[in-house]
């Protein structure tokens, strides 16, 4: 149903179209607002601003719903693989068996890293953060694979997407091995996408890695849960940088840089650091809850709160169950899981967290899961980045195919000094 909203400015009435999405979300179309009224809107952090129309991911933050291309994330986590979910996000439909086999073949064919790229790795300082390295290396891929999709040919574009999905996984494992000073393990055509990653991370000539199908499945779920989340900070970075029509590698590299931040993907590392601190200080979460509530203290409870979810993050619920499952399978206990549960219990009964609608998000339990798999702390956000790649790629693809595409260029309300004259330095006292 087409409708309009009326806006009255200085006694004059303007009509704004109201547009509606397939799930009933409504928005005011303000694209002609400045032209018609001379005014712009001001929305710090874009909390009320839709930057695009998208058919990839739907989320309802009040009801705790997340769907990729219409399919609930819970169903994908239970029945799909990361590979299949990546295909769904990028192509819009679940693949046939033949399409999935072709996709797997392409992932395998493009999994090797150009030998010359290794010298890049070796020149990063040993203590460099893997997210900084990954962002640089992905940008570097452009120099090694310059034949980017300029002619918009489907096969060529698919090769670039597959190359990224496959090589980023290899680069991540490679950076870990190099940081240890160990021999790099090559990808194997015998292994699936997730099994290959675990093997490249943990296989060694002195301790061959035994693939455990339950852990492979758990990693599939972990990456499915991270695969897309509509217009979050890093995805918006990919779309914004991509809107200048830079190449895909540069846009993804910007997304990786944005994801690194502790308020975004970096939260999975920050959560475990926080839980470890609580543990080291005797295990009582109360002082941390008190700090999080204290407005004079910048400390925040990491892994809590979300811009969109004002209830449980559906991914967090799956993640919590996965932690317990994997630890059981490995016959291991993690004291940080007990601390996390205690912290969650206390926070969810506290009026501050209730009034602010602050619930555990995906990152609250994901770090504990990654620890159980043996992933080192500084690689946690890299694991998030590998998972988010299909989302970044599909959002970039959707944006360049969008007939309404525009260079992203927000405006501002200037609050600096009014016009004044230049004063030569010698006249300044
Ligand atoms: N601990 C304590 N207070 C919090 C927290 C938190 N984790 N999160 C939000 N608040 C409070 C704020 O202090 C603010 O309080 P006030 O209104 O009384 O001043 C209120 O809740 C709203 O906070 P904003 O920062 O305006 O909310 P926003 O939507 O911008 O924040 C964010 C979302 C950044 C995720 C925030 O909740 C946060 O910093 N969480 C911790 C970091 C984190 O876990 N990030 C991962 C997010 S999920 C992801 O990227 C995969």
pLDDT digits (tens, 9 = 90+) for 28-41: 999 999 999 999 99
Q: Kindly report the protein residue whose alpha carbon is nearest to atom 35 of ligand 1.
A: 306
Strands 26-28 and 12-20: what pairing?
antiparallel
How confident is residue 151, by pLDDT bands cut at 50, 70 and 90? Answer: low
User: Does ligand 1 come within 6 angstroms of the Cβ of 264?
Assistant: yes
How confident is residue 158, by pLDDT bands cut at 50, 70 and 90? Answer: confident
Look up residue 290 and give its two tokens. Answer: 């008190």
d(CA 391, CA 229): 7
Region 83-106: mean pLDDT is 96
Query: Is residue 1 over pLDDT 70?
Result: no
Whose tokens are 């120099």? That residue is: 143
How confident is residue 119, by pLDDT bands cut at 50, 70 and 90? Answer: confident
User: Does ligand 1 come within 6 angstroms of the Cβ of 363?
Assistant: yes
Region 5-9: mean pLDDT is 96
Which of 360, 173, 377 minimizes the C-alpha distance to 269?
A: 377
pLDDT at residue 149 in the model: 53
Q: How far is CA 190 from the centre of its chain?
A: 29
pLDDT at residue 153 in the model: 66
**Whole-structure pTM value:** 0.94
Q: What is the DSSP letter of 86?
A: H
pLDDT at residue 146 in the model: 74
List 13's β-bridge partners, or say none: 8
Considering only residues 325 and 179, tell me which one the structure prediction assigns the higher pLDDT.
Answer: 325
Query: Is residue 252 over pLDDT 60?
Result: yes
Task: Tell me the pLDDT tens digit for each residue of 187-224.
Answer: 999 999 999 999 999 999 999 999 999 999 999 999 99
Look up residue 74 and give its two tokens. Answer: 């819970």
pLDDT at residue 171 in the model: 93
Q: How far is CA 355 from the centre of its chain?
A: 27
Q: How far is CA 151 from the centre of its chain?
A: 28
pLDDT at residue 5 in the model: 96
Of 223, 235, 296, 305, the one to substitute when testing ligand 1's pocket (max ligand atoms within 8 A of C-beta) is 305
d(CA 252, CA 237): 8
User: Does ligand 1 come within 6 angstroms of the Cβ of 301?
Assistant: yes
Q: Kindly report the protein residue whose alpha carbon is nearest to atom 25 of ligand 1.
A: 307
User: Does ligand 1 come within 6 angstroms of the Cβ of 310?
Assistant: no
Question: What b/e string do you get for 145-158 counting C-beta neighbours within 10 Å, with b at 16 or more?
Answer: beebbeeeeeeebb
Task: Tell me the pLDDT tens digit for each residue of 316-360.
Answer: 999 999 999 999 999 999 999 999 999 999 999 999 999 999 999
pLDDT at residue 179 in the model: 81
Centroid of ligand 1 to alpha carbon of 319 (angstroms): 20
Query: Is residue 150 over pLDDT 70?
Result: no
């Amino acid at each position: 149903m087409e409708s309009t909203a009326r806006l009255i400015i200085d006694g004059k009435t303007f009509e704004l179209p109201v547009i509606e999405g397939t799930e009933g979300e409504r928005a005011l179309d303000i694209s002609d607002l400045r032209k018609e009224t001379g005014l712009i809107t001001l929305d710090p952090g874009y909390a009320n601003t839709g930057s695009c129309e998208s058919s990839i991911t739907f989320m309802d933050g009040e009801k705790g719903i997340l769907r990729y291309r219409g399919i609930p994330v819970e169903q994908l986590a239970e029945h799909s693989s990361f590979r299949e979910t990546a295909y769904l996000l990028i192509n819009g439909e679940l693949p046939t068996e033949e399409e999935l086999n072709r996709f797997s073949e392409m992932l395998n064919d493009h999994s090797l890293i150009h030998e010359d790229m290794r010298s890049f790795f070796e020149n990063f300082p040993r203590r460099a953060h893997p997210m900084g390295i990954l962002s640089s290396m992905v940008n570097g891929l452009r120099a090694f694979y310059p034949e980017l999709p300029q002619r918009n040919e489907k096969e060529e574009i698919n090769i670039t997407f597959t190359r990224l999905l496959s090589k980023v996984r290899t680069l991540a494992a490679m950076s870990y091995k190099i940081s240890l000073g160990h021999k790099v393990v090559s990808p194997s055509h015998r292994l699936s996408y997730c099994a290959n990653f675990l093997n490249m991370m943990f296989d060694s000539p002195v301790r061959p890695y035994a693939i455990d199908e339950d852990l492979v499945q758990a990693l599939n779920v972990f990456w499915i849960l991270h695969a897309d989340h509509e217009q979050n900070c890093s995805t918006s970075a990919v779309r914004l940088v991509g809107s200048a029509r830079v190449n895909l590698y540069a846009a993804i590299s910007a997304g990786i840089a944005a994801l690194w931040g502790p308020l975004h993907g970096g939260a999975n590392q920050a959560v475990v650091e926080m839980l470890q601190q609580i543990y080291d200080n005797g295990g009582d979460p109360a002082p941390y809850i008190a700090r999080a509530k204290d407005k004079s203290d910048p400390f925040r409870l990491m892994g809590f709160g979300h811009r969109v979810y004002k209830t449980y993050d559906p991914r967090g619920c799956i993640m919590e169950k996965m932690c317990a499952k994997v630890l059981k399978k490995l016959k291991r206990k993690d004291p940080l899981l007990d601390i996390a549960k205690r912290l969650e219990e206390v926070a969810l009964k506290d009026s501050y967290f209730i009034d602010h609608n602050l619930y555990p998000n995906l990152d609250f339990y994901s770090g504990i899961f990654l620890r159980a798999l043996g992933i080192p702390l500084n690689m946690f956000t890299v694991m998030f980045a590998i998972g988010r790649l299909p989302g970044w790629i599909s959002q970039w693809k959707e944006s360049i195919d969008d007939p309404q595409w525009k260079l992203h260029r927000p405006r501002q309300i200037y609050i600096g000094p009014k016009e004044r004259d230049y004063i030569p330095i010698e006249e300044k006292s």
